[in-house]
Amino acid sequence: MTLFTYAKAESVKDAVGREGRFLAGGTGLYDLMKLDVERPEALVDVSGLPLEGIERTSDGGLKIGAVARNAAVAHHPEVFKGYPVLSQAILQGASGQIRNMASTAGNLLQRTRCVYFRDVDMPCNKREPGSGCSAIEGYHKNLAILGVSEKCIASNPSDQNVALMALGATVHIQGPKGQRTIPIGEFYRLPGDTPHIETALGKGELVTHVSLPPLPQGTKSLYLKLRDRASYEFALASTAAIVTMKDGRMDDVRLAMGGVGSIPWRAKEAEAILKGQAPSPDLFQKAGEATFRGATPHEGNAFKVELGRRCLIQALTLATTPSAQEKA
């Protein structure tokens, strides 16, 4: 690990004014520093800043502080009851210990689990631009089939971010030049020719919180995650589904997928097919096919076209089928 300076930020203003990387939970950054993948010269510890709050906003939505820990978010009554999709996504990610450490903004900026990105002895365009991609010809079972490029097929490993994408969250940022907001749909960058540029976040900018819009009454939301083992494993495919029914039709549908995309993947084609329609297996099938029509699978992850399609269909089925409790 390279040497670095360490400072505890005393305020958001103090943090933004300092050169260096922001450290919150450390589960991502510090892990990658041990592997020499991340080599910050300075760490600015923001874990103690008063950015932990989770509270209702005036428009009926929810504001989640950047350093609110994943466990605190998932178990918060407003999230647990009001945004089940986010609670379920977080609780299906990582382990109890890691969820106590990982922060909302840290999770938002989580790096890929591509084995070549984590191995400094191997070429990787994301880690070292221009060095090549080892994954395309190598091990890529856990990597993306949507939004990939010839330079990079890394997947975004987060569950939280899939839920935030479906919810249409807004990322609130404080930078050296002031505050700004970015809709999450514009926060992540496709790899293209510059896989090392992952988000719209600028130099010195600090995420202060994430806000969620209010969900219409009667909206059902859930997160379905498919993986190699039942717990403590990254998604091979996952779906965040948010459906509002009205008179037997899907008045609003918001879908995002994890495990299959280079970024948390909003399934817009599927949403367009489903919106305003009555739910049916045929329609869900069409939505699933549309989502993966533009997929670029490789030998080791071609199974994700079928798995992803089934994942989306199953999530839609669950989101539109009244539970025994609801029927009663």
Partner 1 sequence: MPQDLPDEGQTPSTTRRALLTHLGAAGLAASLGPFALAEAPTDKSGTVAPTAPSGSLVEEATHVSAPTTLVPFALKVNGKTVRTTIDPRASLLDTLRESLHLTGTKKGCDHGQCGACTVHVDGKRVLSCLSLALASQGHEITTIEGLGTPQKMHPMQAAFVEHDGYQCGYCTSGQIMSAVALMKEPVGAEDTDVKEAMSGNICRCGAYANIVDAIQEVRKA
Amino acid at the residue 136: I
* Binding characters for partner 1, 91-110, by CB under 8 A (x = yes): ---xxxxx-xx---------
H or E element in which residue 30 lies: helix 29-34
Cβ–Cβ under 8 Å, residues 94 and 131: no
Q: Judged by CB, which is closer to partner 1: 117, or 187?
A: 117
| Residue range at the interface with partner 1 (CB under 8 A); choices 90-98, 105-113, 157-165, 219-227 | 90-98
Q: Which position among 15, 16, 22, 23 is part of the footprint of partner 1 (CB under 8 A)?
A: 23
What's the angle, vertex CA 177, arms to CA 176 and CA 181, rounded to 5?
100
Using an 8 Å Cβ cutoff, are 80 and 74 in contact? yes
* Per CB under 8 A, 245 contacts partner 1: no
Rounded-to-integer distance, Cα 275 and Cα 254, Å: 9
Window contacting partner 1 (CB under 8 A); options: 149-157, 216-224, 227-235, 319-327: 227-235
Q: In angstroms, rounded to a whole number, what is the distance separating the alpha carbons of residues 242 and 91? A: 17
Distance between CA atoms of residues 179 and 16, nearest Å: 11
- Residue in 78, 237, 74, 228 with CA at minimum distance from that of residue 146: 237
Residue 274 engages partner 1 in binding (rule: CB under 8 A) = no
Site string for partner 1, 34-63 (x = CB under 8 A): xx------xx-x-xx---------------
Quick count: other Cβ atoms within 10 Å of Cβ 87? 23
Residue from the set 12, 61, 75, 286 that interacts with partner 1 by CB under 8 A:
75
For partner 1, give the closer residue by CB, 23 or 145.
Answer: 23
Going by C-alpha positions, the residue among 318, 315, 312 that lies closest to residue 291 is: 312
CB of 317 to partner 1, least distance (A): 23
Contact string 3-22 vs partner 1 (x = CB under 8 A): xxxxxx-x------------
Binding residues for partner 1, rule: CB under 8 A, are 1-8, 10, 23, 25-27, 30-31, 33-35, 42-43, 45, 47-48, 71, 75, 94-98, 100-101, 230-232
